[in-house]
Amino acid sequence: MNVPVVHPLWLRTTHWLNAVAVTLMVMSGWRIYDASPFFDISFSAGITLGGWLGGALQWHFAAMWLLAANGVFYLLMNVLTGRLRSKFFPLSPAAILADLRAALAGRLSHADLSRYNAVQRLAYLFAILDVALLIASGLVLWKSVQFPLLRELLGGYETARRVHFFAMAAMVAFVAVHLVMVALVPRTLVAMIRGR
């Protein structure tokens, strides 16, 4: 029997490249933050990447090209193939509440892996927008003088640093919830690896 494709190859490739890029960015970012923390917290060296500020910056600047190029390709493909509209919309607060209630009561069906429920749609759109915010605020920190408008839109250099930090924290929270969801419905992982 011909099993239908749930995730096309380009989607699976960009998803896994993104997972690698996000991991490298977050771990090296924690090391960069540790060199000049602005909260009372710092990240233990064992969970950071790069060894020291210079090494962490090298990792961060290398992985950012992968994150950005891969993200632009993912978005372009989603828009051009009409996938963005068909997979993530329509989306309404009523549908999100209904699916959230059903999920908490253990009544949310995962029979059709090719259709995302409203909570998945919201979570994935959130992740996409959060990566965009990470890249925009990262651009300001990297080339502050070259992007004055973006810098002012984000409240100036120091505020952009906080925005970048909180966007990172939101991304880490998304990934934590994402991994719990994948563990609860492991069939989705098979589909994200094999396509069907």
131 binds ligand HEM (CB under 6 A): yes
Measured at the CA of 135, the angle between CA 120 and CA 180, to 5 degrees, comes to 30
Q: Which tokens sit at 122?
A: 């919201």
120 binds ligand HEM (CB under 6 A): yes
Instruction: Give the number of other CB atoms < 10 A from CB of residue 106.
Output: 6
Is the peptide bond prior to 90 cis by the omega test (within 30 degrees of 0)? yes
**DSSP structure string for 98-123:** HHHHHHHTT----S-TTS--HHHHHH
Stretch that binds ligand HEM, among 16-24, 47-55, 100-108, 157-165 (CB under 6 A): 16-24
18 binds ligand HEM (CB under 6 A): yes
Best CA proximity match to 134, nearest among 100, 160, 107, 108: 160
Query: How many residues belong to the site for ligand HEM (CB under 6 A)?
Result: 20
117 binds ligand HEM (CB under 6 A): no
Minimum Å gap between C-beta 163 and ligand HEM is: 17
127 binds ligand HEM (CB under 6 A): yes
In the complex, the residues that contact ligand HEM under the rule CB under 6 A are 11, 15, 18-19, 22, 87, 113, 116, 120, 124, 127-128, 131, 175, 178, 182, 188-189, 191-192
